[in-house]
Amino acid sequence: MTTSLRVIVALVLVGLALPARAAESVAVTSSRTSATLVSDTDRVVAGRPFKVGLRLRLAPGWHTYWRNPGDAGIAPELRFDLSDGATAGPVAWPAPQRQPEGPLMTYGYSGDVLLAVPVSGTAHSIGLHASWLVCKDICVPEEGDFRLDLPGGTQPAAAPQAPLFAAAEAALPRPSPWSAEVAPDGTLTVTGKGISAATVRDAWFIPTVADTVRGAAPQPLWVGDGVFTIALAPGDAFRADAALAGVLTARDGGGQEVALEVSAAPGGPPAEPDMPTWRIIGFAVLGGFILNLMPCVFPVLAMKTVGLAGLARGARRQAVLHALSYTAGVVVTFMAVGAVLLALRTAGDMVGWGFQFQSPAFVAGIAWVLFAVGLNLSGVYEMRLAGTGAGQALAARGGHVGSFFTGLLAVLVATPCTAPFMGIAIGAALAAGSTPLILAVFLAMGVGLALPYVMLTAVPGCVLLLPRPGRWMDVVRQALAFPMYGACAWLLWVMSQEAGSSGVVGTAAGLGLVGVVAWAIGLGQGELGRNGRRIANSAALAAGLAALAVLSGIATRPAEPAQAASEAGVEPFSAARLEALLGEGRPVFVNMTAAWCVTCLVNERVALAQPQVRQGFAMHGVVYMKGDWTRQDAAITRFLRSYRRDGVPFYVLYPSGHGAPVVLPQILTEATVLAALERVGPIVGNE
DSSP assignment of 127-149 equals EEEEEEEEESSSEEEEEEEEEEE
β-pairing, 179-182 vs 257-266, is: parallel
Give the pLDDT mean for 454-483.
68
User: How much is the pLDDT for 497?
Assistant: 76
Sorted by sequence, the CB contacts under 8 Å of residue 475 that are 6+ apart come out as none
Rounded to 5°, the CA angle 451-456-461 comes to 150
User: How much is the pLDDT for 13?
Assistant: 39
Residue 216 binned pLDDT confidence (cut-offs 50, 70, 90) = confident
Q: Is the pLDDT of residue 281 over 60?
A: yes
Sketch out the chain's domains with CATH numbers. Answer: 23-170 (2.60.40.1250), 174-266 (2.60.40), 277-556 (no CATH), 570-680 (3.40.30.10)
Q: What is the mean pLDDT of the chain?
A: 79
Distance CA(551)–CA(554), nearest Å, equals 5
Give, in order, the Cα–Cα distances in Å from 236 to each of 214, 229, 242, 416.
Answer: 8, 21, 13, 35
User: How much is the pLDDT for 334?
Assistant: 81
Q: What are phi and psi of 664, to 5 degrees?
A: -90, 160
Distance CA(206)–CA(186), nearest Å, equals 13
User: How much is the pLDDT for 142?
Assistant: 95
Judge contact between 300 and 413, C-beta under 8 A.
yes
Q: Among 34-48, 421-435, 622-636, which stretch is predicted with the lowest mean pLDDT? A: 421-435
| Rounded-to-10 torsion of CA 287, 293, 298, 304 | 70
Give the pLDDT mean for 233-257.
89
User: How much is the pLDDT for 391?
Assistant: 31
β-pairing, 623-628 vs 588-593, is: parallel
Residue 388 binned pLDDT confidence (cut-offs 50, 70, 90) = very low
Judge contact between 66 and 58, C-beta under 8 A.
no
User: How much is the pLDDT for 206?
Assistant: 96
373 vs 226 pLDDT, higher one: 226
Distance CA(494)–CA(390), nearest Å, equals 41
With the C-alpha atoms ordered 292, 296, 301, 306, is the resulting torsion angle positive or negative?
A: positive
From 85, 429, 460, select the one nearest 275 (Cα to Cα).
429
Distance CA(330)–CA(337), nearest Å, equals 11
Judge contact between 556 and 499, C-beta under 8 A.
no
Helix-, strand-, coil-residue percentages of the chain, each rounded to 5 = 45, 20, 35
Q: Is the pLDDT of residue 597 over 80?
A: no
Give, in order, the Cα–Cα distances in Å from 639 to each of 34, 217, 303, 575.
Answer: 44, 10, 38, 8
End-to-end CA distance of the chain: 66
Distance CA(367)–CA(379), nearest Å, equals 19
User: How much is the pLDDT for 472?
Assistant: 64
φ/ψ bin of 84: left (φ > 0), alpha (ψ from -120 to 50), beta (otherwise): left
Q: What are phi and psi of 30, to 5 degrees?
A: -145, 180
Give the pLDDT mean for 647-652.
85
**Angle between helix 316-346 and 399-414 (nearest 10):** 40
Judge contact between 630 and 595, C-beta under 8 A.
yes
Q: What are phi and psi of 479, to 5 degrees?
A: -65, -30
Give the pLDDT mean for 230-240.
86
Residue 389 binned pLDDT confidence (cut-offs 50, 70, 90) = very low
Judge contact between 399 and 385, C-beta under 8 A.
yes
Residue 407 binned pLDDT confidence (cut-offs 50, 70, 90) = confident
Q: Among 233-237, 466-470, 560-564, which stretch is predicted with the lowest mean pLDDT? A: 560-564
Cβ neighbour number for residue 49 with a 10 Å cutoff: 13
| pTM to 2 decimal places | 0.49
Cβ neighbour number for residue 255 with a 10 Å cutoff: 8
24 vs 525 pLDDT, higher one: 24
Distance CA(182)–CA(268), nearest Å, equals 8
Peptide bond into 649 cis (omega under 30): yes
Coil vs helix vs strand at 335: helix
User: How much is the pLDDT for 88?
Assistant: 92
Sorted by sequence, the CB contacts under 8 Å of residue 137 that are 6+ apart come out as none
Q: Is the pLDDT of residue 408 over 70?
A: yes
Judge contact between 400 and 518, C-beta under 8 A.
no
Judge contact between 241 and 266, C-beta under 8 A.
yes
Q: Is the pLDDT of residue 556 over 50?
A: yes
